[in-house]
Amino acid sequence: MNAELVRQLEKTLGYQFKDDSFLRKALTHSSIASDKLDSNERFEFLGDSVLGLVVCQALFERFPKYFEGDLTKVKSKLVSRKICSIIAAQLGLVSALKVGAGMQKSKAMQGSIAAGTLEAIIAAIYFDGGFEAAREFVLRCFEPFLQQAEADEHQDNYKSVLQQHSQQHLNANVNYELLDEKGPDHNKCFECAAVIDRKRYPSAWGMTKKDAQQKAAYNALLELGVIKE
């Protein structure tokens, strides 16, 4: 990798290396390395953990009322191979990765290899600039996905809020009853109601069962006084 390519990558990454040997190693795949210890595999291992920690902290701060299970669900989506490979493609990491003959046509180049390369880059920044530099890089790359996760979770939040309220204040779990459904198979509507400790709350209709349950959770929250219209 020549100096010009290193500078281009640094500009794309938004980070300038003090020691660009970290960057070079992060972009060396095991298929071309003379020794696996000279490849980016160990960097992937560390980068995965740094990524997980940064995303966990971000979610912990953005969703202060979420239980562990809710946070784990959102985190799994964000640090998935799919999201990591998308970000790697946006940064042009795959085209800069040094791989062995024949690997360029492998489907893994756009999947697991791309995702692993992003993790290796995170580790490279961590080694070169410390945790704060790696944290800033991760948050910058993942911010659009964090925002989307926040929007998605708020949209689907009534069920989560009702479950939390029910467990904390009523010492019970929430169940949903399917009361009715209408329409042809390709265009059904569903009526659902939230049930807590045998008490059924006002039902609601939706185009899907999930939608009906969300609206039913909203009705229950209204009746319980947790939210107001």
- Length of the chain (residues): 229
Rounded to whole angstroms, how far apart are CA atoms 88 and 13?
Answer: 10
Residue among 44, 48, 128, 191 flagged as catalytic:
48
On whether the CB atoms of residues 125 and 118 are closer than 8 A, the answer is no
Reduced to 3 states (helix: H, G, I; strand: E, B; else coil), residue 195 is: strand
DSSP per residue, 24-78 = HHHTB-TTT-SSGGGSSHHHHHHHHHHHHHHHHHHHHHH-TT--HHHHHHHHHHH
Q: Is 41 a catalytic residue?
A: no
Residue among 44, 119, 128, 191 flagged as catalytic:
119
Nearest of 135, 113, 132, 126 to residue 40 by alpha carbon: 113
Q: Is 119 a catalytic residue?
A: yes
| Catalytic (active-site) positions | 48, 119
